[in-house]
Amino acid sequence: MQMQLVFLRHATRSAYGLNDSPLNETGLAQAQELPNALMKLLKLESLEQIVQVISSPKLRACQTVYPLSQKLPRTFKIDPRLDERGEGESATEFEARLRAVLKDLPGHLAGHLAGSLLTPPTIREAAASSAQTASAPSAPQGANVSSDSQVILLCSHMDWLELAMLLAPSDLTPTQISWTWQPAEFRSFELAPEPNSVWKFKKRGAVAPGGTNL
């Protein structure tokens, strides 16, 4: 079975420097566009190929994946280990937390990340407040989930994602590892079911309101 692992940075937030700031209008529009962007750039036949969506507990991350989760048979999960580095958390502790997540991701076991189901009213209200209306993904109606192509999506923060790219057992080059993460940017990898296999880098994309930037 082919498994794609997608790392996503949350969309554009309203203010930097605040611990848990929400998305601004641009970010809410990016979140609404995310399902279409994933369909296009990952060449999915159906959004139902996305079998798991896991988010940082921060509001801006939850807001980013909420519109996508509304189009899936299941809601997203929150995993505190995907949170940005906390105040007072040492670099060693942060790295250990991230390594624990990466350890849970090999091959077909990737869908079993720990996390509690959560759809807080604040997130529902924030997503509904977007001035943008999500357009329907361009998949054929009633498309079946392909058993040999499934997607796990993790939504986190720039510091977490930068370290993940450094630690992941992937074929990324040093230049690719050093790429800066823009808001609503994602990178996908193909995971083989064999233990200790190298993640193959597949795609880099960023979501813009009304379209996608490659």
Could you list the pLDDT tens digit for every one of the 214 residues in the chain?
678 999 999 999 987 766 789 999 999 999 999 999 999 999 999 999 999 999 999 999 999 999 999 999 888 999 999 999 999 999 999 999 999 998 887 543 434 343 443 444 444 444 444 433 333 333 333 334 444 678 999 999 999 999 999 999 999 999 999 999 999 999 999 986 666 788 999 999 999 876 666 5
Q: pTM of the prediction?
A: 0.82
Residue indicated by tokens 């040492």: 90
CATH code matching the domain that covers 2-213, chosen among 1.10.490.10, 3.40.50.1240, 1.10.3720.10, 3.40.50.970? 3.40.50.1240
Supply the DSSP symbol for 19.
T
Neighbours of 175 (CB within 10 A): 7
